[in-house]
Amino acid sequence: MKTSVIGYPRIGVQRELKFASEKYFRNEITADELDRIAKQIRLSAFEVQKKNSIDFIPSNDFSLYDGMLDTAFLLNVIPERYRALNLSGLDTYFAMARGYQGELGDVKALAMKKWFNTNYHYMVPELDDDTNIRINTDKPFKLFLEALENGIKTKPVIIGGYTFLKLAKYTGNKDKWSFSEKITDSYVEIIDKLVSLGAEWIQLDEPCLVNDMTESDKKHFISLYKKILERKGNAKILLQTYFGDVRDCYGEICGLDFDGIGLDFVEGTKNIGLIATKGFPKNKTLFAGVINGKNIWKNNYRCTFDIISKLKKVCGETVLGTSCSLLHVPYTLRNETKLPENYKKHFAYAEEKLSELSELRTIISSGNPEKTNEFINNTLLFRERRVEEDDRVKEKISALSDKDFVRLPEFAEREKIQKSALKLPLFPTTTIGSFPQTEEIRQARASYRRGDMTEEKYEKFIKEKIAQCVELQEKIGLDVLVHGEFERNDMVEYFGQCLNGYIFTEKAWVQSYGTRCVKPPVVWGDISRARPMTVKWSSYACSLTEKPMKGMLTGPVTILNWSFPREDISLRESAFQIALAIREEVLDLEKSGISVIQVDEAALREKLPLRKSDRSSYLDWAIPAFRLVHSGVKPETQIHTHMCYSEFSDIIKEIDNMDADVITFEASRSDLSILDDLKENHFRTEVGPGVYDIHSPRIPSKEEIKTSLRKMVSKISPEKLWVNPDCGLKTRGTDETVHSLKNLVEAAKELRKENNA
Ligand code: GLN
Ligand code: ZN
């Protein structure tokens, strides 16, 4: 039995790629130096996989920024506005990733979207009628050869043509699928070239196959692959899927001339049934994703052996693999020097998952049932009861009744009460919460954490920053102010630290987009609030201004979705536990005089099942969890929420049903089509569609913001429109932030005039 890895983390064990790229952006290192660091990261990934005797080690899974962007670049899908800058190849690539503002021009980045149900984000390729698809770079070939030179014949990985076209945005007048022919030619050329360099297996990633597929989707998928596979020559093509099951196209996949099919048996719980009922072609290799690429718990070998033994009855050659790319888990437990062994022994990061793969292979290959059983029993020790239960939390959850999820009076009445209490102008301006986190602030937090700075000094420092931030916002002229979130390293970890039941890692970084990484905390036990979380900072900020001060919290679904969750109780149960803890904080903020409270649900959509028919099982607890947080506040307290994307047209009723008073969301990177959906659905929650993109250092002009706002006013009733950036400002520099916000406030003022307010 062989083992395979779909993809490996690439940001560097110590986030070397992040730091190097950022240096490159600041012109502190050259392209060659960046390349050298990238190469080291790739080689060490090969090395560790080789050490664990992985048979199918991926190459070209590495990316300087994002895999979809790489594929666009590879296929010459480079919009004219980036070409026109006349930059080097690398800088054109980064301009697509981050936008460009300088002597040569001023262009926005490509849109960025969530990668399926993960916290990873991909760059959305843009096709237009002038796009000339052809091979533009040699990256897959270079990386294959690089590994070969180091003695490893890898399995090159490329995002497949169906997923590429499906996720790309098309702005032309023809049909997106008219590119199929060029796509086919390009993939055939890539395959040929790789084979001529010595590749045997080539992995084409087609995660879009786990989404709902229409008949026309199926038709496009089949016709694309029929043509590619007819011309594949000696190559062995692995069709790799992940993040779910392939219930809509299982038969079609089996009928095509793929040499291997990769299925996810962790999230794709229906895959095993498909194989059992429909069989599996004997002439194909099954790549069975049994090691969870998304969570950090040790594999449950009992389950895995069960799956394997079921598969063995039906399938021919079977390869053990990861359920998806290991990109979504941290590198290695070896760097967790502080976490006690009794926790650590339950964990497996990417590197440990490699040893799980090789351990599983050894024992399965031994074919000795007694040994296998003994082995399973030993590893089951790691599944021992590990959670300190908290009966009080459990009792509270079971005592909840319907009325705990309902806020009264109902929305329309509250809206009136709040309008007269808050006395805000038309088109009120605000921000999403965080202000630029300077090096000084990061340093202060770090030295406080290390114990080098006393609590007293630290508090004084943060309060100074809050005061400066409040002063700045007053000067800029914003209407609803924030304290700036300087006390937070992260919108989840910070709250986790104030909750019982959470544990924290030191180095469990996971890439979120480009150079940005997150370090999800771990839900270990039953959750309850250990102490007040934000009241001290928010009420201090509130005391400094006459304007409304927004209290800032992270919502239960986001806290859970951005943590590594427990697998021994349901997500619903964990979400309600967190909701009760955040509810206590909401009520304390209200008591301390905060009249506007924002409960961020940046990640509400993250674990939304990819298929429509599976969604209610998630929304049926996620929306109530949010409602539970705010149902106890007074009518005049205004509840805001924020989401980091605008893709909610398919769950728009549910979003409205969260029963917040105001929702801010990302709208600047994607087109404003969400506005039509809001209108059509009579969305009643007030809305702040972000008027500029904070993921890029580019400063939006006043005119540009006004243009967006005018578009918004044409679709949204002016009384319901808020004006704000599309997310928190913590990753931005101070100067660009001040400029941008000034333009934002000016734009809102002029728009008020235009609307006679
Ligand atoms: N309040 C948070 C901030 O401004 C929200 C961040 C987010 O949505 N990712 O940083
Ligand atoms: Zn956001």
pLDDT tens for 404-430 read 999 999 999 999 999 999 999 999 999
Reading the block at residue 358, the tokens are 């090789």
Task: Give CA 726 to chain center in angstroms.
Answer: 16
Share of residues in the chain with pLDDT > 70 (%)? 98
Q: How far is the CA of 468 from the centre of ligand 2 (A)?
A: 23
Whether 457 shows a pLDDT value over 90: the answer reads yes
Helix extents (H) in 150-211? 161-167, 180-197
Which domain CATH number covers 318? 3.20.20.210
Q: How far is the CA of 294 from the centre of ligand 2 (A)?
A: 22
Residues 378 and 434 in one domain: no
Query: What mean pLDDT comes out for the span 442-450?
Result: 96
Q: Considering only CA atoms, which of 409, 419, 410 is closest in space to residue 722?
A: 419
Q: How far is the CA of 668 from the centre of ligand 1 (A)?
A: 16
Q: Is the CB of 721 under 6 A from ligand 1?
A: no
Q: How far is the CA of 389 from the centre of ligand 2 (A)?
A: 33
Give the mutation target among 478, 492, 552 for probing the ligand 1 site: most ligand atoms within 8 A of CB: 552
CA distance 576 to 394: 10
Give the mutation target among 432, 493, 645 for probing the ligand 1 site: most ligand atoms within 8 A of CB: 432
Q: Is the CB of 232 under 6 A from ligand 1?
A: no
Residues 342 and 449 in one domain: no
Q: Kindly report the protein residue whose alpha carbon is nearest to atom 5 of ligand 1.
A: 728
Query: What mean pLDDT comes out for the span 22-37?
Result: 98
Domain assignment present for residue 400? The answer is: no
Q: How far is the CA of 495 from the centre of ligand 2 (A)?
A: 16
Domain assignment present for residue 405? The answer is: no
Give the mutation target among 554, 601, 642, 645 for probing the ligand 1 site: most ligand atoms within 8 A of CB: 642
pLDDT band at 692 (very low <50, low <70, confident <90, very high): very high
Query: What mean pLDDT comes out for the span 639-643?
Result: 97
Reading the block at residue 67, the tokens are 């895999």
Q: Which residues surround ligand 2, an ion (CB under 5 A)?
A: 602, 644, 727
Domain assignment present for residue 394? The answer is: no
Whether 368 shows a pLDDT value over 90: the answer reads no
Q: How far is the CA of 370 from the centre of ligand 2 (A)?
A: 53
Q: Kindly report the protein residue whose alpha carbon is nearest to atom 6 of ligand 1.
A: 728
Residues 50 and 127 in one domain: yes
Residue of higher predicted confidence among 369 and 669: 369
Q: How far is the CA of 171 from the centre of ligand 2 (A)?
A: 26
Q: Is the CB of 600 under 6 A from ligand 1?
A: yes
Query: What mean pLDDT comes out for the span 242-252?
Result: 98
| Beta partners for residue 237, in sequence order | 202
Q: Is the CB of 507 under 6 A from ligand 1?
A: no
pLDDT band at 268 (very low <50, low <70, confident <90, very high): very high
pLDDT band at 668 (very low <50, low <70, confident <90, very high): low
Q: What integer pLDDT is reported at residue 381 of this predicted model?
A: 60
Q: What integer pLDDT is reported at residue 382 of this predicted model?
A: 56
- Residue 638 CB partners (closer than 8 Å, separation 6+): 418, 422, 595, 596, 597, 661, 662
Q: Is the CB of 602 under 6 A from ligand 1?
A: yes
- Residue 675 CB partners (closer than 8 Å, separation 6+): 667, 689, 711, 712, 715, 716
Cα Dmax for the chain: 82
Domain assignment present for residue 391? The answer is: no
Active site residues: 695
Give 548-598 as a DSSP string.
-BEEEEE-HHHHHHTSB--SSS-HHHHHHHHHHHHHHHHHHHHHTT--EEE
Q: Which atom of ligand 1 is nearest to the CA of 432?
A: 4
Give 210-273 as a DSSP string.
GS---HHHHHHHHHHHHHHHHT-TT-EEEEE--SS--TTTHHHHHHS--SEEEEESSS-TTHHH
Residues 319 and 424 in one domain: no
Q: Which atom of ligand 1 is nearest to the CA of 552?
A: 1
Q: Kindly report the protein residue whose alpha carbon is nearest to atom 10 of ligand 1.
A: 728
Q: How far is the CA of 167 from the centre of ligand 2 (A)?
A: 22
Residues 434 and 582 in one domain: yes
Q: Is the CB of 666 under 6 A from ligand 1?
A: no
CB 157 within 8 A of CB 58: yes
CB 575 within 8 A of CB 498: no
Q: Considering only CA atoms, which of 504, 617, 528 is closest in space to residue 579?
A: 528
Q: What integer pLDDT is reported at residue 378 of this predicted model?
A: 74
Rounded to the nearest 10°, the torsion over CA 207, 209, 211, 213 is 150
Mean pLDDT is lowest, of 64-68, 383-387, 506-510, 533-537, for 383-387
Query: What mean pLDDT comes out for the span 578-604?
Result: 97
Residues 285 and 432 in one domain: no
CB 241 within 8 A of CB 206: yes
Q: Considering only CA atoms, which of 614, 489, 498, 484 is closest in space to residue 550?
A: 484
Domain assignment present for residue 393? The answer is: no
Q: Is the CB of 730 under 6 A from ligand 1?
A: yes
pLDDT band at 667 (very low <50, low <70, confident <90, very high): confident
Residues 375 and 520 in one domain: no
Query: Could you list the residue range(s) of the whole structural domain that residue 677 is in?
Result: 412-754
Domain assignment present for residue 560? The answer is: yes
Q: What integer pLDDT is reported at residue 387 of this predicted model?
A: 62
Mean pLDDT is lowest, of 281-285, 534-538, 539-543, 565-569, for 565-569
Among the bound ligands, the one closest to the CA of 668: 2
Residues 343 and 423 in one domain: no
Q: Is the CB of 434 under 6 A from ligand 1?
A: yes
Mean pLDDT is lowest, of 85-89, 194-198, 394-398, 488-492, for 488-492
Query: What mean pLDDT comes out for the span 708-735?
Result: 96
Q: Kindly report the protein residue whose alpha carbon is nearest to atom 8 of ligand 1.
A: 602
Q: Is the CB of 727 under 6 A from ligand 1?
A: yes
pLDDT tens for 49-76 read 999 999 999 999 999 999 999 999 999 9
Share of residues in the chain with pLDDT > 90 (%)? 91
Reading the block at residue 218, the tokens are 């199926």
Buried b vs exposed e over 252-285: b needs ≥16 C-beta within 10 Å?
bbbebebbbbbbbbbbbebbbebbeeeebeeebb
Residues 369 and 431 in one domain: no
Q: What integer pLDDT is reported at residue 385 of this predicted model?
A: 63
Among the bound ligands, the one closest to the CA of 431: 1
Whether 349 shows a pLDDT value over 70: the answer reads yes
Reading the block at residue 618, the tokens are 């998630």
Q: How far is the CA of 728 from the centre of ligand 1 (A)?
A: 4
Among the bound ligands, the one closest to the CA of 694: 2
Query: What mean pLDDT comes out for the span 497-508?
Result: 94
Residues 93 and 215 in one domain: yes
Among the bound ligands, the one closest to the CA of 555: 1
Residues 119 and 251 in one domain: yes
Last residue of a domain, which of 383, 399, 424? Answer: 383
Q: What integer pLDDT is reported at residue 671 of this predicted model?
A: 66
Q: Which atom of ligand 1 is nearest to the CA of 643?
A: 8
CB 225 within 8 A of CB 256: yes
Q: What is the mean pLDDT of the chain?
A: 95
Residues 643 and 686 in one domain: yes
Sheet bearing 58-59, strands edge to edge: 2-4, 318-322, 285-291, 260-264, 236-240, 201-205, 155-159, 58-59
Query: What mean pLDDT comes out for the span 327-347?
Result: 94
pLDDT tens for 220-235 read 999 999 999 999 999 9
Query: What mean pLDDT comes out for the span 296-321?
Result: 94
DSSP state of 282: T
Domain assignment present for residue 509? The answer is: yes
Cα dihedral 731, 735, 740, 742 sign = positive
pLDDT band at 722 (very low <50, low <70, confident <90, very high): very high
Among the bound ligands, the one closest to the CA of 513: 1
- Residue 123 CB partners (closer than 8 Å, separation 6+): 65, 66, 68, 69, 72, 96, 97, 109, 110, 111, 112
Domain assignment present for residue 738? The answer is: yes
- Residue 669 CB partners (closer than 8 Å, separation 6+): 108, 109, 111, 112, 693, 695, 726
Q: Kindly report the protein residue whose alpha carbon is nearest to atom 3 of ligand 1.
A: 728
Last residue of a domain, which of 383, 403, 422? Answer: 383
Q: Kindly report the protein residue whose alpha carbon is nearest to atom 1 of ligand 1.
A: 433
CA distance 298 to 352: 8
Number of domains in the chain: 2
Q: Considering only CA atoms, which of 539, 517, 636 is closest in space to residue 593?
A: 539
Q: What integer pLDDT is reported at residue 384 of this predicted model?
A: 62
Q: What integer pLDDT is reported at residue 367 of this predicted model?
A: 80
| Beta partners for residue 522, in sequence order | 503, 564
